[in-house]
Amino acid sequence: MSIDVSNINNPLSQYITSSTKETADQNAFEAILNEAVEKKDSVKLKKACQEFEGYYLQQLFKEMRKTIPDSGLLEKSQGRDIFEDMLYEEYSKNMSKGKGMGLSEMLYRQLSKNITD
């Protein structure tokens, strides 16, 4: 019995996995947002707005990371990429829980008009 591991480091496979996670995040946000508006639940709406800000910040960090030249100090590997993705995900979650950059508050104010109408 043999196990095919030929596509473990395949960049296309990594892209598909990343793209699938992003689509799942988007669908989860949309579901929470729709539920909050339908039920006129301001707490869920606020949470959805914070999650959106966290997702936005995570994408921002990923794009910012691409602009930094690789120093060569640490070897480029899949493990390093996973670590950096997880690190930026935690940074973005922590930032969006606090004051963040204000995006969630602006989004909440705009969308809460739909709840009160």
DSSP 76: -
Q: What is the pTM of this model?
A: 0.67
Tokens of 30: 């949309």
More confident call, 78 vs 116 = 78
Helix (H) / strand (E) element for 67: namely: none
Residue tagged 């539920």 (tokens): 35
Q: Which amino acid is at 82?
A: I
Measure the CA–CA gap between 48 and 56, rounded to whole angstroms. 12
CA distances to 40, 46, 93 from 112, rounded to whole Å, are 9, 9, 22
| Domain residue limits, the chain | 13-116
Q: What confidence tens digit (pLDDT) does each residue in 11-67 have?
A: 555 555 556 666 776 777 788 878 887 888 888 888 888 888 988 999 999 999 889
Provide the Cα torsion 22, 27, 28, 33; round to 10°: 130
Measure the CA–CA gap between 32 and 51, rounded to whole angstroms. 10
